[in-house]
Amino acid sequence: MANRFAKPRRGAQVEVALPAQFYRQLADLSPQILWSARPDGSAEFFNARACQYSGRTAQQLEGWGWRSIVHPEDWQRCMPRWTKAFKRGQPYEVEYRLRRHDGRYFWHLGSAMPHREGGRIVRWFGSCTEIENQKRAERLLAKARGALATLVDARAEHDASIDSRFRSLVDSAPILVWESGPDKLCTYFSKSWLQFTGRGMEQELGNGWAEGVHPDDLERCLAIYGDAFDSRRPFEMEYRLRRHDGQYRWIFDRGAPAFDAKNVFLGYIGSCIDITDRHGEQARLRAFLDSMPAIAWIKDSRLRYQWVSASYERVHGKSLQQVCGRDDFEVWTPELARVFQNDDELALRVNGPVQSVNAAPYADGSEARWLVVKFPLPDESGEFGVAGIGFDMTEHAPAESGDAQSEPLRRLSGRERQVLRLWVEGRTSAETGTQLGLSPKSVDTYRSRLMAKLDIHGLPALVKFALRHGLTGDR
């Protein structure tokens, strides 16, 4: 999601205005395991969920104590990846099993991102999301894929004896199977499908099956099926299907075209599995994000919106349907789009979180002030996009001084202002580093970052800026 702010007043890398206790409470409310670690990977913080899940105290998990809850096989597999990430300062994602308080292991997706100051990694922030139900669904889906391939091959033979074996095979499979003819009308449903829906074969044949699809999903479902059918290509989709007890369950449906030995199109064969539990976890996470006192968004590697929170929609009046798949230039005015894109590119450039304070109106046009944090986040392709979260700081905003010239300084952190002041006074990188306790390389990184934030190129222009804003001397 992206900064959907109207009329932002650019800020950058400001000191966090909210108290640390606020963030700790926010972390403890999360349904995920959240943690932070030192540059070498030794843990320094775990939220309440980590302790509830593992049955251990935060003190027992800190340092390298968290190793005790990682499955031994996964530790040997994952440790080289973690070590490589820590050494190179690269974000990572990895799947591993964590031991619950009752001794059982459950699969989790772990991800972490470095936080830099002056180009140096000072901390890692990470999360662990339980994916046990998803892993089970993947195992079942693998079986379904194998069964589906067998079914397609069987139908290609197109003789009576194999047709009989086809029916016997799918009726004994723990998946829902369907078949359609070349006219898009369904010609067969497995015994497991009929048991799931509680309907007879004659009720499901043709387009009868559509009566069991949730009304909100039906149009999308038919469109995906129709497009795939017309192009003769495989498809995958998720939708809600009514069970025999009247409840709707989320279904993952995979279909593949079938052809005979002469490459004549026979229709489609599909297999389905119930993925309601996985959707439940996602729904709880979305509900948590939607209930936060903040707005949130995610963009893919092409900086196109992929998700916005419900609070984002309420604040800015733009729904996910309106922005999904679009970039800022398709959603906002060119001026705003340029501002948002520059902020995104800065987060990608520094490869870590970037903070700013922006003035942005609510949907009704009244002005608000936001503390915005943006950070790189891998998308489905594995490339890095940008995610962000904005906290409403309107009630905490200081009174305006009326000095318009002081506004650009809010783009710089305290450390960046120190580096700028010493630089324009003629100090070298080595001298500046000695005085501030930084390496010359870190000083150069601060210098490049502050120039990018101020959109100033060259020392003469930077000296003029510093003199104009009184950054020489003791300020």
> Is residue 370 one of the residues assigned to a domain?
no
* Higher per-residue confidence, 29 vs 354: 354
pLDDT at residue 158 is higher than 80: no
| 194 located within any domain | yes
* Per-residue pLDDT, 354: 79
Residue 395 is given by DSSP the state G
- Position 472 pLDDT exceeds 50: yes
The whole-number pLDDT of residue 16 equals: 39
pLDDT for the residue 401 = 41
- Which one of 234, 259, 277 terminates a domain? 277
Cβ(253)–Cβ(274) under 8 Å?
no
Of 333 and 302, more confident: 302
pLDDT at 439: 83
Give me the CATH number covering residue 461.
1.10.10.10
Between the two ends of the chain, the Cα-to-Cα distance in Å is 37
Structure tokens at 223: 């469109």
Residue 334's pLDDT is what? 81
Q: Is 51 inside a domain boundary? A: no
For the range 242-247, what are the long-range contacts, defined as Cβ-Cβ under 8 Å and sequence gap of 24 or more?
A: 242/197, 242/212, 242/213, 242/214, 243/196, 243/197, 243/198, 244/195, 244/196, 244/197, 244/198, 244/199, 245/198
- pLDDT for residue 278: 62
Q: Domain span at residue 141?
A: 134-277
CB 66 within 8 Å of CB 40:
no
Q: Which of 257, 277, 297 is the last residue of a domain?
A: 277
Average pLDDT, integer, range 302-317:
84
Any domain includes 34: no
Choice among 168-177, 255-264, 404-413 with the minimum mean pLDDT: 404-413
- Encode 152-197 in three state secondary structure: HHHHHHCCHHHHHHHHHHHHCCCCEEEEECCCCCEEEECHHHHHHH
CA atoms of 104 and 14, how far apart (whole Å): 44
If you average pLDDT over each of 98-102, 218-222, 439-443, which comes out highest?
Answer: 98-102
Give the chain's count of helices (H) and strands (E). 18, 15
With vertex at residue 361, the alpha carbon angle to CA 360 and CA 365, rounded to the nearest 5 degrees, is 160
Residue 59 domain-assigned (yes or no): no
Q: Which residues pair with 324 in a beta bridge?
A: none
Q: Cα separation of 2 and 341, whole Å?
A: 9
Cα 4 from Cα 332, distance rounded (Å): 8
- pLDDT value, residue 7: 38
- pLDDT, residue 286, reads 62
Name which of 412, 414, 432, 415 is nearest 423 in CA terms: 432
Cβ atoms of 385 and 306 within 8 Å: the answer is yes
Q: What is the pLDDT of residue 429?
A: 82
Q: Quote the crossing angle between the two packed helices 414-424 and 429-436, to the nearest 10°.
A: 140
Residue listed under structure tokens 């935060």? 58
160-171 and 132-157 are packed helices; what angle lies between their axes, rounded to 10 degrees?
Answer: 170
pLDDT above 60 for 157: no
| CATH code of the domain in which 204 resides | 3.30.450.20
The C-alpha atoms of residue 175 and residue 150 are separated, in whole angstroms, by 14
Of all residues in the chain, what percent carry a pLDDT higher than 70? 73
Structure tokens at 359: 């003035």
- Cα–Cα distance for residue pair 28/23, rounded to 1 Å: 9
Q: Give the lowest-confidence range in 206-220, 226-240, 398-412.
A: 398-412
Identify whether 198 is part of a domain. Answer: yes
Query: What distance in Å separates the CA atoms of residue 389 and residue 236, rounded to the nearest whole number?
Result: 31
In a domain, 350, yes or no: no
In the listed set 261, 277, 293, which residue is the last one of a domain according to the structure? 277
Is 17 in contact with 415 (CB distance < 8 Å)?
no
Q: Is residue 293 a part of any domain in this protein? A: no
- Whole-structure pTM over 0.85, yes or no? no
Q: Is the dihedral of CA 71, 383, 454, 366 positive or negative?
A: negative
Domain count, the chain: 2
440-454 helix and 459-468 helix, angle to the nearest 10 degrees: 70
